[in-house]
Structure 1
């Protein structure tokens, strides 16, 4: 671990996904990727669906986040998201099934399915697959 570290917390309404000391992180800001190193200036930002990447002990780790908010101050970073999963926690089969289901709904454009909800579900499922390092193949 570097001499100076950032305490990173990822929190959802259901649980604290994790709290760790990290060397650096990159979050999927609504306006683009945001890189954070120790002693970063205080900041608050909206997040989009994407992959939070962080480094700890020279190893890169990933977390799928479903949007939310990010705050950093005094070497303490907090991500608040409706859903977040570490790459190693993601059930790839379940995520693939969710992506396929959302793609079918988008293709069918059934009157009883909300197009925006189906598109958001597809984006979340594809994000989870990418975070887990799984092939998105013809789903993307």
Structure 2
């Protein structure tokens, strides 16, 4: 079976580096399946789960946006933050949801609603990835 190398990189360093048979990402315009030999492409990513098929298993990584660069033999994902499903702290993610929801419900003028919405999306994405709701 053909494979392609996948690297998921954040400003803090690499998060994932492996050979997989298929990558599924969610771009801002929709989902995209990537197989070995895919044409070169660059696309912006949504806050979402990246699914990585290896033999008979599936690895899942929560990403908070960024870009995917596809080459015929390599897929690179550059993202502000990423967490492999096994390493997500569910309690911390649920606390982040509560904080973001309280900010969104606040009537204070100094609340940055866009930032609170994005924080809520990232936390919900982490929870969904950890719980397998992707």
What range is the shorter-chain TM-score in?
over 0.9
Residue 109 of structure 1 deviates from its aligned partner by: 3.5
Which residue does the alignment assign to 1:114? 112
Contact 1:29 1:46 (C-alpha < 8 Å) held by counterparts: yes
Q: How has the CA–CA distance of structure 1 residues 21 and 94 changed in structure 2, closer, same or farther, with 3 Å as cutoff? A: same
Which residue does the alignment assign to 1:15? 13
Residue 60 of structure 1 deviates from its aligned partner by: 1.3
Residue 15 of structure 1 deviates from its aligned partner by: 1.1
Which residue does the alignment assign to 1:52? 50
1:25-53 CA distances to partner (integer Å, 9 max, x unpaired)?
A: 10110100110011111111010100101
Q: How has the CA–CA distance of structure 1 residues 109 and 49 changed in structure 2, closer, same or farther, with 3 Å as cutoff? A: farther
Which residue does the alignment assign to 2:127? 129
The counterpart of 1:71, out of the listed 69, 83, 103, is: 69
For structure 2, the residue ranges without an aligned partner over 5 or more in a row are none
What is the TM-score with the length of structure 2 in the denominator? 0.95
Q: How has the CA–CA distance of structure 1 residues 134 and 112 changed in structure 2, closer, same or farther, with 3 Å as cutoff? A: farther
1:58-77 CA distances to partner (integer Å, 9 max, x unpaired)?
A: 11111000000001112200
What is the TM-score with the length of structure 1 in the denominator? 0.91
For structure 1, the residue ranges without an aligned partner over 5 or more in a row are 136-140
Residue 134 of structure 1 deviates from its aligned partner by: 6.5
Ranges of 4+ aligned residues in structure 1 off by more than 2 Å: none
Equivalent pairs counted in the alignment come to: 133
| C-alpha distance in structure 2 between counterparts of 1:121 and 1:8, whole Å | 26
